Amino acid sequence: MGDNYILLPSGVLAFGEGLQEKNVDERIQSWQRNISNTAFFLILAGSQTAEIEGISAAGSTAVSRRYTAVADAELLLRGPTLPKRWPLPPLPAGVSPALISYVASKFLKIKPTIISAGLLQTPPFTHVSLESPDRGPARCLSSGNAMESTRVKLLRDGGFKIGKKLEKSLLITECVPGGTSTAFAVLSGLGINVNGLISGSHRNPPLELKTKLVKQGLKAAKLKENPSSVEIMAAVGDPFQPIAVGLLMGARESGQEILLGGGCQMLAVLSLALNEIEPESRSEFVSKILIGTTSWLVDESLSSAENRNSFIHLMNHVANHFNVNIIGLASGYRFNDSNQKVLRDYEIGYVKEGVGAGALSLLAQIKGLTQKEMIERCDIEVGNLFKSNNEKTCQGI
């Protein structure tokens, strides 16, 4: 696979420019030692971008995507069998990645601290709010006026305060329907060429629709040359981004190692943070940051032959733009041998990533959960999920 990839013994794939096996091994060992002492955050956020017809498969309808974040978080926290306030929204195919995250986090014995912003519901579980819960979702990115700058700064500063107080490694994960579109928009706003490289929950992401919305939003925003990250997020972002940027910058200030759990959305957050840092400090900043994702996202090739492994190309574009080396890790779990069709759907391009599925399964793999055990556990939990859904239907819920 060339110099940009290293397949590690556990089945984990390391990728990125400037890879050195020794460096990657050291960082993986560090995570292996510190997994039980990790601050694990799940950020839930809402954007009206998710309500555009055809934009996201994180729920089959615009209405169902309004509660995807809360439903996924409930599944991650409570598992498939315990009663929940919010049902999982129907998906075109596959099953919520929160199920994979639940299995992995249960094995790792870690639970998330949940931060919520811009949701239409009050989450029925303990969570942190950095703003008034009735602020509601960000406006659609196509408006070029997604959020007020004051809101962006409030969320960023709230995230920064939490990150700065940390005395342990940090794992950041997210659930934001429509989030790959806002990631596309902020990366474009930073001047990074991401066309044809942004994924999504669809088997074939609606690249034309996303490109059109992003062009519309950036045109309406009339950003000045070299805009600040706050200006870009206010124009075309979502509430997850400032929280994650603040959390990331605060944790780096306190010297912590960071695993960004996800794909394009985490690259957007990292880029927004790097944009605020002096060029000479950027390499040091990324030296303790890893991107953790799934093999399905890394395998994906969008639009044309030269865009093979689109996510790796995207990550390298970001690294080159800021003149830094960024390292990504993908967990090696595959579902070809699963008994559950909704899990095998991942192998043909559905869902791919979300709710920290990649980073959590990566940590589980590093900690010794084998491929066979992972499939068995996921198969059982899918069975439990279907059983509990059927019972609710029978009771008329």
DSSP of 126-153:
--EESS-GGG-PBPPGGGS--S-HHHHH
Report yes or no on 391 lying in a domain.
no
Phi-psi region for residue 259, left (φ > 0), alpha (ψ -120 to 50) or beta?
beta
Range of the domain at 10: 5-386
Report yes or no on 397 lying in a domain.
no
Sign of CA dihedral 241, 67, 260, 166: positive
The token pair at 7 is 């397949």
Highest mean pLDDT among 113-117, 120-124, 351-355: 113-117
What local confidence, expressed as pLDDT, does residue 3 receive? 54
Q: How many CA atoms lie within 13 A of 248 on its CB side?
A: 31
CA distance 274 to 271: 5
Placement of tokens 């790097």 in the chain? 274
What local confidence, expressed as pLDDT, does residue 397 receive? 37
The predicted-structure confidence for 125-155, as pLDDT tens digits, reads as follows: 999 999 998 899 999 999 999 999 999 999 9
What local confidence, expressed as pLDDT, does residue 189 receive? 97
What local confidence, expressed as pLDDT, does residue 393 receive? 37
The predicted-structure confidence for 190-244, as pLDDT tens digits, reads as follows: 999 888 788 777 667 678 888 899 999 999 999 999 999 999 999 999 999 999 9
Report yes or no on 396 lying in a domain.
no
Whether residue 390 has pLDDT greater than 70 = no
- CATH code (residue 361): 3.40.50.10210
Please give the average per-residue pLDDT across 90-109, as a whole number: 93
Q: What's the structural domain count of the chain?
A: 1
- Nearest one of 78, 145, 52, 160 to 115, comparing CA atoms: 160
CB atoms within 10 A of CB 12: 22
By percentage, how much of the chain surpasses pLDDT 90? Answer: 71
Report yes or no on 392 lying in a domain.
no
- Alpha helices (H) along the chain: 21-34, 62-65, 68-78, 98-108, 149-164, 179-189, 207-221, 229-236, 240-253, 264-275, 282-286, 295-299, 310-322, 341-344, 357-366, 371-394
Pairing label, strands 5-7, 13-15: antiparallel
Per-residue DSSP letters for 34-53?
HGGGEEEEEEEE-BGGGGST
Mutual angle of helices 98-108 and 357-366, in 10-degree steps: 30
Whether residue 156 has pLDDT greater than 70 = yes
Query: What is the average pLDDT score of the chain?
Result: 90
The predicted-structure confidence for 20-77, as pLDDT tens digits, reads as follows: 888 888 889 999 998 888 999 999 999 999 988 888 777 677 787 888 999 999 999 9
CA distance 340 to 366: 24
Report yes or no on 393 lying in a domain.
no
Direct distance between the N- and C-terminal alpha carbons of the chain, in angstroms, rounded to an integer? 51
The token pair at 367 is 């900690």
The predicted-structure confidence for 253-279, as pLDDT tens digits, reads as follows: 999 999 999 999 999 999 999 999 999
Report yes or no on 176 lying in a domain.
yes
Report yes or no on 380 lying in a domain.
yes
pLDDT grade, residue 343 (50/70/90)? very high
Report yes or no on 304 lying in a domain.
yes
pLDDT grade, residue 349 (50/70/90)? confident
